[in-house]
Each structure stands twice: as structure tokens, then as C-alpha cells.
Amino acid sequence: MTKKQKNNLIRIIIALVLVVAFSVVFHFTELPWFVELACFLIPYFIVGYDVLLKACKNIRNGQVFDECFLMSIATIGAIATGEYLEGVAVMLFYQIGELFQSIAVGKSRQNIADLMDICPEVANVLHEDGSITEEDPDDVEIGSVIIVNPGERVPIDGIIIEGETSLDTSALTGESVPRAAHVDDEIISGCISLTGMIRIKTTKEFEDSTVSKILELVENSSMRKAKAENFISKFAKHYTPIVCYAALALFVLPPVFRIILGMPPMWLDWLMRALTFLVISCPCAVVISVPLSFFGGIGCASSKGILVKGSNYLEALADTGTIVFDKTGTLTKGVFEVQDIYTNGDVSRDYLLQRAANAESTSNHPIAESVLRAYKKEFKNEINYSLIYDAEEIAGHGVSIKYRETPDGVVESVDKRSVSGEETHFKIYAGNMRLMKMVGVEVPEQHDEGTVVYVAESCLGNSETDENENLSDKEIKYLGCIVIADELKETSAAAMERLRKQGIKTIMLTGDSEKAAKLIAEKVGVSEYKSELLPGDKVNEVERLLGEEESDDASGKTEIKSRLAFVGDGINDAPVLARADIGIAMGAMGSDAAIEAADIVLMDDDPAKISLAMKIARKTLKIVRQNITFAIAVKVLCLILGALGIANMWLAIFADVGVMVIAVLNATRALRIK
């Protein structure tokens, strides 16, 4: 409990003891009314002075109708009519309910508060002279070397250049099993080094690091409210003034009618009914429990490595009926390895791999990185970027570069033109079959056992001219192809199975060939798949699917059947993530653009977390609906009973505080979703 909560608890206990003591005393003794009033005012002011002050401040600021105003009017009115015990009891139990709600909110905040602790206050920066200084992570530049000792958190993203350790990533991913980290491994901020000292070369500034982005996402999540929350805000804004005027009418109109009919007005009786009506009408149960439920759901998700950017996205996810997956880096690990190299004619294997590596060196795509790894492993050498110019990445097709070959590295070109003694220029193409067709290259044999990179080149001669623009089809020679395979994530198939059991339709979109896409789809178990898609085609496909999720009724209005979510990780997925109803990004390997465009981020790239997110969202929304239905139903029933004079002040206390406590207890269930 916080200091404020402890102080409130002490006030409640003191007031409760005094109320019980005075009730016993006045039950067995007869004392003047003013003595009884003075005695009960002591616990009343002890427990309720802050409510009275807040009501006065709100009235002064023009914000009259709120729960503090309702409690103040109802309790002062009860005391004024001689119902001292009831008046104090209303304020006492109201404060008990407020304390209970405060503790519940504190617990729901705990998971997010834990996230706030993942950010170290200092970074140990190692300088060239061997000295170490503690600096603010914000001041550490890219390329600096920082030291992380056992038990310390990693302050900034980087690459390990010395040492090895086990990493505790539970605060980021919800995964309790430590992960081994070695030299050349990428490491993200917020992890704890458990077993060894490591030196890290920073690759990002602090504001762009993982931990900083997580905190930003979490801090902004409360700004995006769900429809249910917006409904409750509007409901409370109009509801409170209405019940206040209704209570005033209940106090005034019946006695007036009784006077007109020649009956006793019974002002005191109708005043008590109006005050009871006010206590019952307090909207605390609904106003508190609904946002608390969403906050609990977001906190529960964050503790399991699922960052939800707002309760509106949690609500939309609960209504999702279709989830569309990108393949690479989402259902697969995105770690491609060269499986086979097929050459054309008398082209050597080394020549093909060299040409492909030079072309792919200008791309950061996982496929390109796999070709480069194979090249470095084969030749034990780095790419000479000074020989590459005019690189162009053709979206959905591949890449092309111009390449100058020097006499130092004499390699006979495929069209037998000698490069000995002078510099010769080539244009190299590396990509899929669409690229080969685009440049007019005939491929004698196609391969579809995996992702295939086809390679072709044309010789430009001895100068950096644009002669290639006028080349005929015959001058571009096909060199061969490289077959690359991507490994499925261990949890992909289980994730699809869980989503199927939850009634979710799963669709995979990929740029792979039909045969390769079918093979992956069968292994994973998706409902449908679409292959050979360009980035723009993915957007069009999602647009089509969104159209299927909508229908026009008889009045011409568009009715949304269910929501559609898209899961991706690459920069080319950002437009689709933004277009879908819900965008879900892979946070560990995903690009910054994808994470920025997404509404939900999976910090450990585990597709199985999607079904868990669905479970959390649906249970949270179920709790929200339960609270709204229960609270409003009890309120309406008790309001009717209060207006008829059947409900007394004690039933009013239950209708207010009791319902609020039950609703808050129900809301805290959102924190405990396994």
C-alpha cells in the first residue's frame, strides 16, 4: 500500500471504531440530540473531509455533478434529517470502496510499473584510455563501448564485442528461461546480464533503443480509449446531472401533488427517498470498473511480452475474426540459409555466388543477408563496396547494381570478354522470376523448392556509361540461381491450431512461389494462403478481405461483421499493418517502421502469443460487459425501489459501495489471465 492509502485506511479504522462506539452508547443511553449530532460529526469529518473539500472545489470550478457532490448532498441531507448513523455510514462505506478501488488500480498498474524499471539510469561507458565513466544513456553516442556487469540491465541496444552471458529477458518478453548471448550477438536494452561481464558496441541512440520505445508505447496506451470507455465517459457526463434533477423532482413533485389532492405532503419522507435515490445513483461502479478492466488487461498483456498501444485496440482484437500473416520473419524465423546453387552452362559456382553477393550487398533483406553469409563463408572475404555503384532495389522483384571489375581480380566474364589489363563494368540483376521476366532474361529451368534468387548480368564495357539502357535482350546473360530455405518457428503450427480453436480464420500472404507457399501453408496449418504477392498486392488483398468483413443492410448502412488483424515484421509490411483493423508487429526482429505502424507489438516474435493476446482481449471485454450490465441493472432496480420508498439508506449503501466493490473485484480478474 502507498502512504496515501495507509493514511486513508487509518482514517477509516478510526472513524469505524468511533461510529461503533457512539452507536452502542446512544443505543443504551438517552442524550440530547445535539450531543449525538456532535459525536457523529467527528467520524464524519475524519473520514469524509476530503470528499467535502473536493465537492466544494469542483462546484467553484463549475464541475458540479460528480460522485463527490452526490455523496456530500446525500450525507449532509441524511444528517440534517436526524439520520446521523446512516449519513456517516454512507460516507464511511464510500471511502472503504474508494480505498479498495485505489488498491486494485495500484495492483493493475504494477505490471506496467515493473516495465518502467527496465530503464537503467546510467550507462558504464568505456573510453579509449581504458577509463570508465557513468553517463546518462541519453548522452551515449552510437558506436560507443559500454560495459554491463552481472546483475545490471543493458541500457542501449548494441552488439556484444567481448564476453558472454545469460540474459534475463522476462521484463520484455515474459519468457522466464534465460537466453545465452555470445560475441557478435545483437542485444536489446532492458535485458539483465545474469552470469558474465560483457562489452557492447552501441548501434542505436537511447531514444531509438528497444527499452525507450517500450516505455513510449506503454505511456501512450492510456490515451487511446476503447468504445466502452468512451461510452462510460459520455454516460457519466449526462447521467449524473439527470439523476440529480430526478432526485430534486422526487423531493418536490410528490409532496406538491399530495397538497393539491388535499393530503399531507410528507416532506421529510420524500426528502429521505430523494437522498437515498442520490446515494444509489452514484455511478462509481461503472465509471471505475470499466477503465480498470482495460488497464488490467493491458497490464496483464505487457507482463507476457505483448504491448497493446491502447484499450481501443484490445477491444478491437476481441472482435477479430480473421488474422492475416506475412510469412518471412513472422511464421518463419527469417534466418535464411543457402541450400543449393544451380549454375547455367559453363558458369562456375564461385562466379555465380560472387555476382549474387555483390548485388545483394546493397539490400538489408534477410534473403540478401543469407547470400552474403554464404559468400563470406566460401571466400573468407568481405565485399568491396568501392566497386559497386548505381544500386537499385526494385520492390517485389529484387535488386540491380553496376559493378566495376579491376585487373587485380581477373575473372573471365560469362560472355568470355576479357577484363585483363583494364577495368570493365557490368550490370548485375539478382531477384525472383518476375525480375528475370522484367529484364527479358529467359530462365531454362525454374526451381520452387524454396525461396530462389535468380542472377543475370550484362557487360557494359570499359566505362561507367549507360550503355545497358540500349542493350538488347540477348546481351543480358542468365548465370543461374541460388535456392534459399527459411526455417519455421517452433510455435507457428501450434499458434495456428490455437487460433483455429478460438474460431479465428488464418490466412498467409507471401511473395514466394506457389509450390513453396503451399509447402509452408501445409506445415503451419493456415486456413488459406496467397503466393507470389508484391507489397502492393498484400495491401490489395487485405482491402479485399476487409470488404468481405463488411456488408450492407437493408437501410444501406455498412455493418462490420468482424475485425481483421495483420501480423508482419518487415518495413514493407508497414502499409498493410496500418491499413488492417489491427496491426500486430514482431518487436524483436521487426523493423522500426513496422513497430511504429502496428497497434500491438510482440516483444519476443512468438506467433503463439497472438492466441494469448486474443484470450486476454476477449476475457477483458467479457469482464467489461459483465460490469456494465451488472452495475446498471442493480442501479436501475434499486433506484425504482428507492423512489417507491421500499429501499432505505442501507440498501443504498449496497447499491453504491457494494456494487462498486463487486465490479472492481471482477475487474481485477483481467490481471490473472494465464
Task: Please name the amino acid found at residue 428.
Answer: I
Torsion of CA 413, 417, 418, 421, to 10 degrees: -110
Q: Give the relative orientation of helices 33-60 and 3-28 as an angle to the nearest 10 degrees.
A: 150
What CA–CA distance (Å, rounded) separates 218 from 224? 11
* C-alpha gyration radius of the chain: 35
DSSP structure class, residue 14: H
Task: Please name the amino acid found at residue 608.
Answer: A
Task: Please name the amino acid found at residue 30.
Answer: E
Which residues carry out catalysis? 326
**At 43, phi and psi to the nearest 5?**
-65, -30
Instruction: Using CB atoms within 10 Å of the CB of residue 220, give its burial: 0 to 12 exposed, 13 to 18 middle, 19+ buried.
Output: exposed
Which residues have CB under 8 Å from 560's CB, separation 6+? Answer: 549, 550
Of 492, 66, 81, 59, the closest CA to residue 270 belongs to 81
Q: Is the distance from CB of 525 to CB of 544 less than 8 angstroms?
A: no
Which grid coordinates belong to 509?
500472404
Sheet containing 123-126, strands listed edge to edge, beginning at the edge strand earlier in sequence = 132-135, 123-126, 145-148, 198-202, 158-162, 186-187
Which grid coordinates belong to 66?
460528480
Task: Please name the amino acid found at residue 129.
Answer: D
Task: Please name the amino acid found at residue 58.
Answer: N
CA 465 to chain centre: 50
SS3 annotation, 88-144: HHHHHHHHHHHHHHHHHHHHHHHHHHHHHCCCCCCEEEECCCCCEEEECHHHCCCCC
Pairing of strands 451-461, 477-488: antiparallel
What CA–CA distance (Å, rounded) separates 77 from 475? 97
Of 363, 412, 360, 405, the closest CA to residue 386 belongs to 405
Q: Is the distance from CB of 576 to CB of 542 less than 8 angstroms?
A: yes
3-state SS assignment for residue 245: helix
Beta bridge partners of 398: 394, 431
N- to C-terminal Cα separation, the chain: 25
Which residues have CB under 8 Å from 370's CB, separation 6+? Answer: 335, 336, 337, 338, 484
Task: Please name the amino acid found at residue 198.
Answer: I
CA 171 to chain centre: 15
3-state SS assignment for residue 622: helix
Helix, strand, coil share of the chain (percent; to 5) = 55, 20, 30
